[in-house]
């Protein structure tokens, strides 16, 4: 039976590689978008599928990946899409319906914004698609999105449309109850989880949810450091 979940490793910043390793479950399809393969190599793993123009990898790294049995789909450098978008398309063509883009945050701002914008592509509307590096999770809120984490972790809501209406939250410190968030305002930034599960939903408009794991623990450590000085 073909895998339904794909982790697509991107050539961006990966703050905690071991946290990313925790995302890998049995049967998942490991896809590398060009230089994203290096993240897998550092974890002692190889992608099942490598996609891109391969300008970010050495010939030795490509040979190592090929020798491990990976399928390699090479594109010319003059192409209309990023390596990530091409890798995402190939994962979807293979029947994957749950997809996580790993290492797609940080580094070049244009690449980061482009990676996030893929969440709004109509072709992927029916998919379970998100960015997740094990520390930060970025998802597009539909009728309802459930967040799993720890008390005190930060959850931020960013409208991508001019306004997002009917926003409701459950399990967050500052509750929103059928309210409107505007793209040119910052009202949805830095909310906090009250327990281990929280919920967000929006009636109309594209709403981005960013969940930062471990923030409560780090905040406690920062407070202890200040108290000891």
Model confidence pLDDT, tens digit, residues 123-161: 999 999 999 999 999 999 977 889 999 999 999 999 999
**Residue 73, in any domain of the structure:** yes
Q: Give yes or no: residues 127 and 14 share one domain.
A: yes
Query: 27-74: per-residue pLDDT in tens?
Result: 999 999 999 999 999 999 999 999 999 999 999 999 999 999 999 999
Of 134, 167, 187, which closes a domain?
Answer: 134
Domain ranges, residue 16: 5-134
CA distance 117 to 120: 6
Q: Give the mean pLDDT of 173-201.
A: 95
- Res. 220: pLDDT tops 70: no
Kindly report the average pLDDT of the chain as a whole number. 91
Phi, psi of 31 (to 5 degrees): -115, 140
**Per-residue confidence at 224, pLDDT binned at 50, 70, 90?**
very low
**Per-residue confidence at 82, pLDDT binned at 50, 70, 90?**
very high
- Nearest-CA neighbor of 15 among 133, 154, 150, 109? 133
Distances (CA, A) of 224 to 77, 79, 220: 50, 51, 6
Stated pTM of the model: 0.88
Q: Give yes or no: residues 126 and 206 share one domain.
A: no
- Res. 215: pLDDT tops 80: no
């Amino acid at each position: 039976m073909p895998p339904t979940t794909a982790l697509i490793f991107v050539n961006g910043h990966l703050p905690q590689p071991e946290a990313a390793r925790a995302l890998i479950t049995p049967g998942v399809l490991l896809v590398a978008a060009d230089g994203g393969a290096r993240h897998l190599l550092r974890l002692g793993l190889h992608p099942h599928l490598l996609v891109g123009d391969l300008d970010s990898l050495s010939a030795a790294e490509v040979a190592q990946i090929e020798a491990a049995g990976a399928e390699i789909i090479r594109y010319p450098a003059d192409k209309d899409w990023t390596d990530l978008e091409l890798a995402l398309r190939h994962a979807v063509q293979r029947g994957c319906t749950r997809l996580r883009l790993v290492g797609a945050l940080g580094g070049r701002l244009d690449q980061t914004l482009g990676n996030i914008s893929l969440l709004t592509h109509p072709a992927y509307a029916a998919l379970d698609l998100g960015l997740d590096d094990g520390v930060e999770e970025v998802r597009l809120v539909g009728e309802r999105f459930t967040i799993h984490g720890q008390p005190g972790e930060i959850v931020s809501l960013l409208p991508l449309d001019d306004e997002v209406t009917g926003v409701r939250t459950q399990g967050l410190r500052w509750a929103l109850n059928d309210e409107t968030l505007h793209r040119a305002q910052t009202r949805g930034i830095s909310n906090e989880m009250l327990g281990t599960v929280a919920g967000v939903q929006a009636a109309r408009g594209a709403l981005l949810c960013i969940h930062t794991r471990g923030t409560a623990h780090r905040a406690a450590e920062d407070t202890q450091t200040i108290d000891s000085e």
